[in-house]
Amino acid sequence: MRKYIRNGANLICIITNDGWWKKTPGHKQHMNYARLRAIETRTWVARSANTGISCFINPYGTVIEPQPYDTNAAIKINIDVPDNTKTFYVKYGDLLSKIMTVLSLLIIGAAIFLKIKNKFFRTKVHS
């Protein structure tokens, strides 16, 4: 999604069928994922679910005019197109996870190196 926003998209539209969730919390969780997309991209979301929760979500994650599960409704809202300011996530993606992966590999590599080094020197001293 961040690539679309980075390339100029100014609205996220979600059309979904949440009927297979039935009355479990799944349809609510699915709607909350849309909130995350709105927050991480600072972009409006228009969500249309034929049996789930239809709503609008502002760039700060506030759900506007949510319609209950399995309810026929038509909702309308005027939105302001956001400025071209891109969030850190839109600009750089999952940079933090990449940094943590490299850091973890370095720590694991250092631990293996020290274990081998200590074993080698212990063997030499006792020989």
Rounded distance, CA 56 to CA 78, Å? 10
Mean of the pLDDT values across residues 102-115? 95
pLDDT computed for residue 83 by the predictor: 73
pLDDT at residue 101 in the model: 96
Residue 105: is its pLDDT beyond 80?
Answer: yes
pLDDT: which is higher, 12 or 127: 12
Query: Burial level of 127, CB count in 10 A (0-12/13-18/19+)?
Result: exposed
pLDDT band at 122 (very low <50, low <70, confident <90, very high): confident
Q: How much is the mean pLDDT over the chain?
A: 90
pLDDT exceeds cutoff 60 at 127? no
Average confidence (pLDDT) over 102-106: 97
C-alpha–C-alpha distance, residues 115 and 11, integer Å: 53
